[in-house]
A and B are shown apart, each in its own frame.
Chain A
Amino acid sequence: MITLSHVSKWYQTFQVLKDCSTEIAKGEVVVVCGPSGSGKSTLIKCVNGLEPFQQGTITVAETSVGDRRTNLPKLRARIGMVFQHFELFPHLSVMRNLVLAQIKVLGRSNEESEQRGMRLLNRVGLREHASKFPGQLSGGQQQRVAIARALAMDPIAMLFDEPTSALDPEMINEVLDVMVALAKDGMTMMVVTHEMGFARKVAHRVVFMDEGRIIEDAPTADFFDKPRSDRAQTFLSKILQH
Protein backbone atom coordinates (compact mmCIF):
# COMPACT_ATOMS: atom_id res chain seq x y z
CA MET A 1 0.00 0.00 0.00
CA ILE A 2 2.72 2.51 1.03
CA THR A 3 6.24 2.09 -0.30
CA LEU A 4 9.21 4.30 0.52
CA SER A 5 12.29 3.63 -1.57
CA HIS A 6 15.67 5.27 -0.92
CA VAL A 7 14.13 8.52 0.23
CA SER A 8 16.56 11.34 1.02
CA LYS A 9 15.79 14.94 1.94
CA TRP A 10 17.89 18.01 2.56
CA TYR A 11 17.03 21.30 4.25
CA GLN A 12 19.51 23.60 2.47
CA THR A 13 22.76 21.71 3.11
CA PHE A 14 21.59 19.70 6.09
CA GLN A 15 20.50 16.16 5.23
CA VAL A 16 17.51 15.28 7.33
CA LEU A 17 16.53 11.96 5.70
CA LYS A 18 19.17 9.50 4.54
CA ASP A 19 18.22 6.74 2.13
CA CYS A 20 15.05 5.57 3.92
CA SER A 21 13.26 2.52 2.61
CA THR A 22 10.32 0.63 4.04
CA GLU A 23 6.94 -0.79 3.12
CA ILE A 24 3.54 -0.84 4.74
CA ALA A 25 1.10 -3.43 3.46
CA LYS A 26 -2.67 -3.09 3.49
CA GLY A 27 -4.03 -3.56 6.97
CA GLU A 28 -0.60 -3.29 8.57
CA VAL A 29 0.07 -1.06 11.56
CA VAL A 30 3.63 0.25 11.63
CA VAL A 31 5.04 2.31 14.49
CA VAL A 32 7.94 4.68 13.76
CA CYS A 33 10.01 5.64 16.78
CA GLY A 34 13.36 7.17 17.62
CA PRO A 35 15.02 10.03 19.48
CA SER A 36 14.16 13.69 18.80
CA GLY A 37 15.55 14.98 15.58
CA SER A 38 15.75 11.54 14.02
CA GLY A 39 13.55 12.71 11.13
CA LYS A 40 10.50 10.58 11.87
CA SER A 41 8.03 13.49 11.69
CA THR A 42 9.64 14.66 8.47
CA LEU A 43 9.43 11.17 7.01
CA ILE A 44 5.73 10.79 7.69
CA LYS A 45 5.01 14.24 6.25
CA CYS A 46 6.73 13.18 3.03
CA VAL A 47 4.27 10.33 2.61
CA ASN A 48 1.37 12.65 1.81
CA GLY A 49 3.52 15.27 0.16
CA LEU A 50 3.32 17.90 2.89
CA GLU A 51 7.11 17.92 2.84
CA PRO A 52 8.97 17.64 -0.46
CA PHE A 53 11.92 15.28 -0.85
CA GLN A 54 14.81 15.42 -3.26
CA GLN A 55 15.74 11.76 -3.82
CA GLY A 56 13.96 8.42 -3.90
CA THR A 57 10.34 7.52 -4.47
CA ILE A 58 7.25 7.18 -2.34
CA THR A 59 4.22 5.33 -3.68
CA VAL A 60 0.80 5.21 -2.09
CA ALA A 61 -1.67 2.78 -3.69
CA GLU A 62 0.33 2.85 -6.92
CA THR A 63 0.42 6.65 -7.07
CA SER A 64 3.85 8.24 -6.89
CA VAL A 65 3.93 11.07 -4.37
CA GLY A 66 6.99 12.83 -5.73
CA ASP A 67 5.86 12.82 -9.36
CA ARG A 68 5.17 16.30 -10.64
CA ARG A 69 2.07 15.16 -12.49
CA THR A 70 0.42 13.72 -9.41
CA ASN A 71 -2.70 15.55 -8.23
CA LEU A 72 -1.63 16.04 -4.63
CA PRO A 73 -4.95 17.30 -3.18
CA LYS A 74 -6.69 14.26 -4.66
CA LEU A 75 -4.08 11.94 -3.20
CA ARG A 76 -4.20 13.61 0.19
CA ALA A 77 -7.96 13.19 0.29
CA ARG A 78 -7.39 9.43 0.29
CA ILE A 79 -4.83 9.53 3.12
CA GLY A 80 -5.83 10.69 6.57
CA MET A 81 -3.41 12.56 8.81
CA VAL A 82 -3.57 13.35 12.52
CA PHE A 83 -1.21 16.01 13.93
CA GLN A 84 0.58 16.43 17.23
CA HIS A 85 -1.21 19.70 17.94
CA PHE A 86 -4.63 18.49 16.73
CA GLU A 87 -4.95 21.43 14.29
CA LEU A 88 -8.71 21.63 14.41
CA PHE A 89 -9.98 24.78 12.69
CA PRO A 90 -10.84 27.04 15.62
CA HIS A 91 -13.34 29.24 13.83
CA LEU A 92 -15.51 26.27 12.83
CA SER A 93 -17.68 24.13 15.06
CA VAL A 94 -16.83 20.46 15.56
CA MET A 95 -19.43 19.44 12.97
CA ARG A 96 -18.21 22.04 10.46
CA ASN A 97 -14.66 20.75 10.98
CA LEU A 98 -15.87 17.31 10.06
CA VAL A 99 -17.90 18.26 6.99
CA LEU A 100 -15.78 21.01 5.41
CA ALA A 101 -13.46 18.74 3.46
CA GLN A 102 -16.20 16.23 2.69
CA ILE A 103 -18.20 18.95 0.95
CA LYS A 104 -15.42 20.92 -0.69
CA VAL A 105 -13.09 18.08 -1.66
CA LEU A 106 -15.30 15.00 -2.09
CA GLY A 107 -18.35 16.92 -3.24
CA ARG A 108 -20.72 15.17 -0.87
CA SER A 109 -24.03 16.72 0.04
CA ASN A 110 -24.58 18.54 3.31
CA GLU A 111 -26.87 15.87 4.72
CA GLU A 112 -24.64 12.97 3.80
CA SER A 113 -21.59 14.71 5.23
CA GLU A 114 -23.32 15.49 8.50
CA GLN A 115 -24.61 11.94 8.80
CA ARG A 116 -21.13 10.53 8.36
CA GLY A 117 -19.80 13.14 10.74
CA MET A 118 -22.27 12.16 13.46
CA ARG A 119 -21.50 8.45 12.98
CA LEU A 120 -17.81 9.11 13.43
CA LEU A 121 -18.34 11.38 16.41
CA ASN A 122 -20.29 8.56 17.94
CA ARG A 123 -17.48 6.15 17.18
CA VAL A 124 -14.95 8.32 19.03
CA GLY A 125 -17.41 8.94 21.86
CA LEU A 126 -18.09 12.65 21.34
CA ARG A 127 -21.63 12.76 19.96
CA GLU A 128 -22.86 15.51 22.33
CA HIS A 129 -20.13 17.93 21.31
CA ALA A 130 -21.10 18.38 17.66
CA SER A 131 -22.00 22.04 17.92
CA LYS A 132 -19.17 23.04 20.25
CA PHE A 133 -16.08 24.87 19.11
CA PRO A 134 -12.53 23.48 19.41
CA GLY A 135 -11.62 26.13 22.00
CA GLN A 136 -14.28 24.66 24.30
CA LEU A 137 -12.88 21.12 24.21
CA SER A 138 -10.06 19.47 26.12
CA GLY A 139 -6.93 18.29 24.34
CA GLY A 140 -7.99 14.66 24.33
CA GLN A 141 -11.40 15.57 22.94
CA GLN A 142 -9.85 17.75 20.26
CA GLN A 143 -7.56 14.97 19.13
CA ARG A 144 -10.43 12.50 18.94
CA VAL A 145 -12.35 15.00 16.79
CA ALA A 146 -9.23 15.33 14.63
CA ILE A 147 -9.18 11.57 14.14
CA ALA A 148 -12.88 11.62 13.21
CA ARG A 149 -12.21 14.49 10.79
CA ALA A 150 -9.55 12.43 9.02
CA LEU A 151 -11.75 9.31 8.98
CA ALA A 152 -14.65 11.27 7.47
CA MET A 153 -12.76 11.26 4.17
CA ASP A 154 -12.87 7.42 4.06
CA PRO A 155 -9.09 7.15 3.76
CA ILE A 156 -7.26 4.05 2.60
CA ALA A 157 -4.53 4.69 5.16
CA MET A 158 -4.00 6.87 8.24
CA LEU A 159 -0.85 8.73 9.23
CA PHE A 160 -0.33 9.77 12.86
CA ASP A 161 2.39 12.31 13.76
CA GLU A 162 2.99 11.98 17.51
CA PRO A 163 -0.75 12.09 18.26
CA THR A 164 -0.42 11.96 22.05
CA SER A 165 2.78 13.95 22.62
CA ALA A 166 0.91 17.20 23.33
CA LEU A 167 -1.63 15.66 25.68
CA ASP A 168 -1.78 15.64 29.45
CA PRO A 169 -1.14 12.12 30.77
CA GLU A 170 -4.73 11.47 31.83
CA MET A 171 -6.02 12.09 28.30
CA ILE A 172 -3.54 9.92 26.42
CA ASN A 173 -5.48 6.73 26.93
CA GLU A 174 -8.77 8.01 25.52
CA VAL A 175 -6.96 8.77 22.26
CA LEU A 176 -4.95 5.54 22.21
CA ASP A 177 -8.16 3.55 22.74
CA VAL A 178 -9.61 5.09 19.57
CA MET A 179 -6.42 4.26 17.67
CA VAL A 180 -6.40 0.66 18.96
CA ALA A 181 -10.02 0.18 17.86
CA LEU A 182 -9.11 1.60 14.46
CA ALA A 183 -6.21 -0.83 14.12
CA LYS A 184 -8.36 -3.76 15.11
CA ASP A 185 -10.83 -2.75 12.39
CA GLY A 186 -8.06 -3.34 9.85
CA MET A 187 -7.00 0.22 9.00
CA THR A 188 -3.56 0.65 7.43
CA MET A 189 -1.70 2.89 9.87
CA MET A 190 1.70 4.56 10.09
CA VAL A 191 2.18 5.97 13.57
CA VAL A 192 5.04 8.12 14.82
CA THR A 193 4.92 7.81 18.60
CA HIS A 194 6.75 7.20 21.87
CA GLU A 195 3.90 5.10 23.27
CA MET A 196 5.49 1.68 23.34
CA GLY A 197 2.48 0.14 25.05
CA PHE A 198 0.44 0.97 21.98
CA ALA A 199 3.14 -0.49 19.76
CA ARG A 200 3.20 -3.72 21.63
CA LYS A 201 -0.58 -3.99 21.55
CA VAL A 202 -1.43 -3.44 17.90
CA ALA A 203 1.67 -2.73 15.82
CA HIS A 204 2.73 -5.39 13.35
CA ARG A 205 6.12 -3.84 12.81
CA VAL A 206 8.34 -1.24 14.47
CA VAL A 207 10.66 1.04 12.51
CA PHE A 208 13.45 2.70 14.49
CA MET A 209 15.09 5.86 13.16
CA ASP A 210 18.14 7.78 14.25
CA GLU A 211 19.78 10.81 12.63
CA GLY A 212 17.70 10.52 9.49
CA ARG A 213 18.32 6.83 8.87
CA ILE A 214 16.16 3.77 9.37
CA ILE A 215 18.26 1.66 11.72
CA GLU A 216 15.84 -1.15 12.45
CA ASP A 217 12.72 -2.43 10.78
CA ALA A 218 11.40 -5.56 12.48
CA PRO A 219 8.25 -7.30 13.62
CA THR A 220 7.12 -5.94 16.98
CA ALA A 221 8.07 -8.88 19.09
CA ASP A 222 11.53 -9.08 17.54
CA PHE A 223 12.11 -5.39 18.02
CA PHE A 224 11.32 -5.40 21.71
CA ASP A 225 12.90 -8.70 22.66
CA LYS A 226 15.90 -8.84 20.39
CA PRO A 227 16.86 -5.37 19.15
CA ARG A 228 19.81 -5.75 16.82
CA SER A 229 21.45 -2.32 16.87
CA ASP A 230 23.11 -0.63 19.84
CA ARG A 231 21.18 2.58 19.28
CA ALA A 232 17.87 0.76 19.43
CA GLN A 233 18.90 -1.03 22.57
CA THR A 234 19.91 2.21 24.29
CA PHE A 235 16.71 3.91 23.17
CA LEU A 236 14.53 1.07 24.40
CA SER A 237 16.26 0.86 27.74
CA LYS A 238 15.76 4.60 28.30
CA ILE A 239 12.19 4.77 27.14
CA LEU A 240 10.97 1.66 28.88
CA GLN A 241 12.25 2.86 32.25
CA HIS A 242 8.95 4.53 32.94
Chain B
Amino acid sequence: MNYNWNWGIFFQTSPDGVHTYLETLLLGTGWTLATALAAWCLALTFGSLVGVARTTPYPWLARFGQAYVELFRNIPLLVQMFLWYFVLPEVLPVHVGDWLKQLPDASFYTAVVALGFYTSARVAEQVRAGILSLARGQQMAALALGLTQPQSYLYVLLPMAYRIILPPLTSEFLNCIKNSSVALTIGLMELTARARAMQEMSFQVFEAFTAATVIYIVINIAVTYGMRWIERYAAVPGLLGAPPPVATH
Protein backbone atom coordinates (compact mmCIF):
# COMPACT_ATOMS: atom_id res chain seq x y z
CA MET B 1 0.00 0.00 0.00
CA ASN B 2 1.60 3.24 -1.09
CA TYR B 3 -0.09 5.49 1.42
CA ASN B 4 2.10 7.38 3.88
CA TRP B 5 0.58 7.40 7.30
CA ASN B 6 1.28 10.45 9.40
CA TRP B 7 -0.74 10.72 12.57
CA GLY B 8 1.32 13.69 13.63
CA ILE B 9 -0.40 15.75 10.97
CA PHE B 10 -2.93 16.89 13.52
CA PHE B 11 -0.38 18.97 15.33
CA GLN B 12 0.97 20.65 12.25
CA THR B 13 -0.19 24.10 11.41
CA SER B 14 -2.85 24.28 8.76
CA PRO B 15 -2.52 26.56 5.73
CA ASP B 16 -4.40 29.34 7.51
CA GLY B 17 -1.22 29.85 9.52
CA VAL B 18 -2.98 30.12 12.87
CA HIS B 19 -4.49 26.82 13.88
CA THR B 20 -3.21 23.28 13.91
CA TYR B 21 -5.22 20.79 11.89
CA LEU B 22 -6.65 19.43 15.09
CA GLU B 23 -7.84 22.88 16.07
CA THR B 24 -9.53 23.38 12.71
CA LEU B 25 -11.37 20.12 13.19
CA LEU B 26 -12.53 21.23 16.62
CA LEU B 27 -13.63 24.58 15.22
CA GLY B 28 -15.64 22.67 12.65
CA THR B 29 -17.17 20.59 15.41
CA GLY B 30 -18.27 23.79 17.10
CA TRP B 31 -20.04 24.93 13.94
CA THR B 32 -21.63 21.48 13.55
CA LEU B 33 -23.07 21.62 17.06
CA ALA B 34 -24.13 25.25 16.79
CA THR B 35 -25.96 24.61 13.53
CA ALA B 36 -27.61 21.47 14.84
CA LEU B 37 -28.78 23.04 18.10
CA ALA B 38 -30.14 26.18 16.47
CA ALA B 39 -31.90 24.14 13.80
CA TRP B 40 -33.27 21.81 16.46
CA CYS B 41 -34.85 24.70 18.38
CA LEU B 42 -36.56 25.80 15.19
CA ALA B 43 -37.58 22.23 14.44
CA LEU B 44 -39.08 21.63 17.89
CA THR B 45 -41.07 24.85 17.78
CA PHE B 46 -42.53 24.53 14.32
CA GLY B 47 -42.73 20.76 14.48
CA SER B 48 -44.80 20.87 17.66
CA LEU B 49 -47.16 23.48 16.21
CA VAL B 50 -47.68 21.53 13.00
CA GLY B 51 -47.97 18.20 14.82
CA VAL B 52 -50.63 19.64 17.10
CA ALA B 53 -52.38 21.26 14.14
CA ARG B 54 -52.70 17.90 12.44
CA THR B 55 -54.55 16.46 15.46
CA THR B 56 -57.10 19.25 15.81
CA PRO B 57 -60.63 18.76 14.49
CA TYR B 58 -60.39 21.77 12.17
CA PRO B 59 -60.05 20.46 8.60
CA TRP B 60 -58.20 23.45 7.15
CA LEU B 61 -55.64 23.36 9.96
CA ALA B 62 -55.14 19.62 9.58
CA ARG B 63 -54.77 19.92 5.81
CA PHE B 64 -52.27 22.75 6.14
CA GLY B 65 -50.26 20.60 8.54
CA GLN B 66 -50.30 17.70 6.13
CA ALA B 67 -49.21 19.88 3.20
CA TYR B 68 -46.39 21.30 5.32
CA VAL B 69 -45.11 17.85 6.22
CA GLU B 70 -45.38 16.50 2.65
CA LEU B 71 -43.53 19.51 1.27
CA PHE B 72 -40.50 19.21 3.51
CA ARG B 73 -40.36 15.43 3.42
CA ASN B 74 -40.42 14.89 -0.31
CA ILE B 75 -37.61 17.20 -1.32
CA PRO B 76 -34.03 16.17 -0.51
CA LEU B 77 -32.36 18.27 2.18
CA LEU B 78 -29.60 19.32 -0.21
CA VAL B 79 -32.12 20.68 -2.70
CA GLN B 80 -33.93 22.52 0.09
CA MET B 81 -30.65 24.14 1.14
CA PHE B 82 -30.01 25.27 -2.42
CA LEU B 83 -33.49 26.75 -2.59
CA TRP B 84 -32.95 28.75 0.59
CA TYR B 85 -29.40 29.78 -0.35
CA PHE B 86 -29.56 30.40 -4.10
CA VAL B 87 -33.21 30.86 -4.99
CA LEU B 88 -34.64 32.83 -2.08
CA PRO B 89 -32.41 35.92 -2.50
CA GLU B 90 -33.39 36.04 -6.18
CA VAL B 91 -37.12 35.97 -5.65
CA LEU B 92 -37.22 38.53 -2.87
CA PRO B 93 -37.21 42.27 -3.58
CA VAL B 94 -33.79 43.30 -4.89
CA HIS B 95 -32.48 45.16 -1.85
CA VAL B 96 -33.53 42.37 0.54
CA GLY B 97 -31.93 39.79 -1.71
CA ASP B 98 -28.69 41.75 -1.88
CA TRP B 99 -28.63 42.16 1.88
CA LEU B 100 -29.06 38.39 2.27
CA LYS B 101 -26.26 37.65 -0.15
CA GLN B 102 -23.85 39.92 1.70
CA LEU B 103 -24.73 38.71 5.20
CA PRO B 104 -21.65 37.50 7.06
CA ASP B 105 -22.05 33.85 8.01
CA ALA B 106 -24.84 33.59 5.46
CA SER B 107 -24.20 29.90 5.06
CA PHE B 108 -24.69 29.37 8.79
CA TYR B 109 -28.05 31.13 8.90
CA THR B 110 -29.21 29.44 5.72
CA ALA B 111 -28.12 26.04 7.04
CA VAL B 112 -29.99 26.61 10.31
CA VAL B 113 -33.18 27.65 8.53
CA ALA B 114 -33.05 24.90 5.92
CA LEU B 115 -32.16 22.16 8.40
CA GLY B 116 -34.67 23.55 10.89
CA PHE B 117 -37.64 23.36 8.55
CA TYR B 118 -36.58 20.00 7.12
CA THR B 119 -36.34 18.50 10.62
CA SER B 120 -39.52 20.21 11.81
CA ALA B 121 -41.58 18.14 9.39
CA ARG B 122 -40.21 14.95 10.92
CA VAL B 123 -40.72 16.27 14.46
CA ALA B 124 -44.30 17.11 13.50
CA GLU B 125 -44.92 13.48 12.58
CA GLN B 126 -43.51 12.31 15.91
CA VAL B 127 -45.59 14.77 17.91
CA ARG B 128 -48.69 13.78 15.98
CA ALA B 129 -48.03 10.09 16.61
CA GLY B 130 -47.45 10.76 20.30
CA ILE B 131 -50.70 12.67 20.71
CA LEU B 132 -52.70 10.09 18.77
CA SER B 133 -51.29 7.27 20.89
CA LEU B 134 -52.94 8.75 23.95
CA ALA B 135 -56.44 7.41 24.42
CA ARG B 136 -59.15 9.81 23.29
CA GLY B 137 -60.42 9.61 26.82
CA GLN B 138 -57.59 11.78 28.09
CA GLN B 139 -58.72 14.76 26.06
CA MET B 140 -62.36 14.04 26.90
CA ALA B 141 -61.55 14.01 30.61
CA ALA B 142 -59.75 17.34 30.29
CA LEU B 143 -62.62 18.91 28.35
CA ALA B 144 -65.18 17.46 30.78
CA LEU B 145 -63.51 19.38 33.57
CA GLY B 146 -64.09 22.59 31.65
CA LEU B 147 -60.59 23.06 30.21
CA THR B 148 -60.55 24.63 26.76
CA GLN B 149 -59.03 22.81 23.77
CA PRO B 150 -55.73 24.70 23.97
CA GLN B 151 -55.59 24.05 27.73
CA SER B 152 -56.18 20.34 27.20
CA TYR B 153 -53.20 20.23 24.81
CA LEU B 154 -50.99 22.29 27.09
CA TYR B 155 -51.63 20.61 30.44
CA VAL B 156 -52.66 17.07 29.53
CA LEU B 157 -51.85 15.89 26.00
CA LEU B 158 -48.46 17.42 25.24
CA PRO B 159 -46.75 16.61 28.57
CA MET B 160 -47.50 12.93 28.07
CA ALA B 161 -46.93 12.95 24.31
CA TYR B 162 -43.42 14.37 24.65
CA ARG B 163 -42.50 11.71 27.21
CA ILE B 164 -43.79 9.00 24.90
CA ILE B 165 -41.83 10.23 21.88
CA LEU B 166 -38.56 10.92 23.70
CA PRO B 167 -36.72 7.95 22.07
CA PRO B 168 -37.68 8.71 18.45
CA LEU B 169 -37.11 12.39 19.15
CA THR B 170 -33.57 11.54 20.25
CA SER B 171 -33.01 9.77 16.93
CA GLU B 172 -34.29 12.83 15.15
CA PHE B 173 -31.85 15.06 17.02
CA LEU B 174 -28.97 12.76 16.10
CA ASN B 175 -30.12 12.91 12.48
CA CYS B 176 -30.12 16.68 12.74
CA ILE B 177 -26.49 16.65 13.85
CA LYS B 178 -25.50 14.37 10.98
CA ASN B 179 -27.51 16.34 8.45
CA SER B 180 -25.62 19.52 9.33
CA SER B 181 -22.82 18.08 7.19
CA VAL B 182 -24.91 18.73 4.07
CA ALA B 183 -24.32 22.44 4.62
CA LEU B 184 -20.74 22.10 3.44
CA THR B 185 -22.19 22.43 -0.05
CA ILE B 186 -23.17 26.01 0.68
CA GLY B 187 -19.88 26.86 2.30
CA LEU B 188 -20.43 26.14 5.99
CA MET B 189 -17.10 25.07 7.49
CA GLU B 190 -18.48 22.44 9.82
CA LEU B 191 -16.71 19.24 10.82
CA THR B 192 -16.99 17.28 7.58
CA ALA B 193 -16.00 20.34 5.57
CA ARG B 194 -12.93 20.78 7.76
CA ALA B 195 -11.98 17.14 7.34
CA ARG B 196 -12.32 17.50 3.59
CA ALA B 197 -10.24 20.67 3.63
CA MET B 198 -7.60 18.93 5.72
CA GLN B 199 -7.57 16.07 3.25
CA GLU B 200 -7.18 18.43 0.32
CA MET B 201 -4.38 20.45 1.93
CA SER B 202 -2.34 17.74 3.60
CA PHE B 203 -3.12 14.65 1.51
CA GLN B 204 -3.45 12.72 4.76
CA VAL B 205 -6.84 11.40 3.70
CA PHE B 206 -7.46 8.66 6.18
CA GLU B 207 -6.16 10.50 9.23
CA ALA B 208 -8.50 13.38 8.50
CA PHE B 209 -11.59 11.28 7.95
CA THR B 210 -10.82 8.97 10.87
CA ALA B 211 -10.68 11.96 13.19
CA ALA B 212 -13.98 13.26 11.90
CA THR B 213 -15.54 9.80 12.27
CA VAL B 214 -14.33 9.51 15.85
CA ILE B 215 -15.70 12.94 16.72
CA TYR B 216 -19.13 12.09 15.29
CA ILE B 217 -19.17 8.83 17.25
CA VAL B 218 -18.29 10.66 20.47
CA ILE B 219 -21.07 13.19 19.88
CA ASN B 220 -23.46 10.31 19.22
CA ILE B 221 -22.59 8.57 22.49
CA ALA B 222 -22.80 11.81 24.47
CA VAL B 223 -26.24 12.66 23.11
CA THR B 224 -27.55 9.13 23.69
CA TYR B 225 -26.43 9.19 27.30
CA GLY B 226 -27.79 12.68 27.77
CA MET B 227 -31.16 11.64 26.48
CA ARG B 228 -31.26 8.63 28.76
CA TRP B 229 -30.68 10.94 31.69
CA ILE B 230 -33.51 13.19 30.52
CA GLU B 231 -35.76 10.17 30.16
CA ARG B 232 -35.10 9.17 33.73
CA TYR B 233 -35.60 12.70 35.02
CA ALA B 234 -38.93 13.08 33.22
CA ALA B 235 -40.25 9.62 34.00
CA VAL B 236 -43.71 9.46 35.51
CA PRO B 237 -43.73 7.29 38.64
CA GLY B 238 -45.67 4.12 38.27
CA LEU B 239 -46.32 4.45 34.56
CA LEU B 240 -43.66 2.52 32.68
CA GLY B 241 -41.79 -0.39 34.14
CA ALA B 242 -42.60 -1.85 37.53
CA PRO B 243 -46.23 -2.63 38.33
CA PRO B 244 -47.88 -0.45 40.99
CA PRO B 245 -47.28 -1.51 44.57
CA VAL B 246 -50.08 -3.22 46.51
CA ALA B 247 -52.57 -0.62 47.67
CA THR B 248 -52.61 0.19 51.37
CA HIS B 249 -55.74 1.43 53.04
- Are A136 and B237 in contact, CB atoms less than 8 angstroms apart? yes
A242 within 8 A of B: no
Query: For the complex, is B148 an interface residue (Cβ under 8 Å from A)?
Result: yes
Interchain CA distance A14-B144 in the complex, whole Å:
26
Contact size class for B?
20 to 34
Residue A235 CB within 8 A of the other chain: no
B104 contacts chain A at the CB level, 8 A cutoff: no
Report Cα–Cα, A149/B148, bound state, in Å. 17
Docked Cα-Cα span, A134 to B160, in Å, equals 13
Specify which of B141, B146, B247 is in contact with A105 (CB 8 Å cutoff). B146
User: Complex: how many Å from CA A87 to CA B146?
Assistant: 15
- For chain B residues 107-162, which have a beta carbon within 8 Å of chain A? 135, 137-138, 140-148, 151, 155-156, 159-160
By the criterion CB–CB under 8 Å, are B244 and A136 in contact? yes
> Does A104 contact B147, Cβ atoms closer than 8 Å?
yes
Q: Is B75 an interface residue (CB 8 A)?
A: no
Report the number of A-B residue pairs with Cβ-Cβ less than 8 Å: 94
The answer on a CB contact under 8 Å between A48 and B144 is yes
A-B contact pairs, 30 of them (CB 8 A): A50-B143, A50-B144, A73-B143, A73-B146, A73-B148, A75-B146, A76-B144, A76-B145, A77-B145, A81-B144, A83-B140, A83-B141, A87-B137, A87-B138, A90-B239, A91-B159, A91-B236, A91-B239, A100-B155, A101-B145, A101-B146, A104-B147, A104-B151, A104-B155, A105-B147, A125-B249, A133-B238, A133-B239, A134-B238, A138-B247
Give the interface of B toward A (CB within 8 A): 135, 137-138, 140-148, 151, 155-156, 159-160, 163, 236-239, 244-245, 247-249
The number of chain A residues with a CB under 8 A from chain B is: 40
Interfacial chain B residues near A134, Cβ < 8 Å: 238
Residues on A with C-beta less than 8 A from B145 are: 76-77, 100-101, 105, 149-150, 153
Q: Which of B135, B143, B144, B236 has the most CB of A within 10 A?
A: B144
Min distance, Cβ B51 to any Cβ of chain A, angstroms: 18
- A103-117 CB mask vs B (1 if < 8 Å, else 0) is 011100000000000
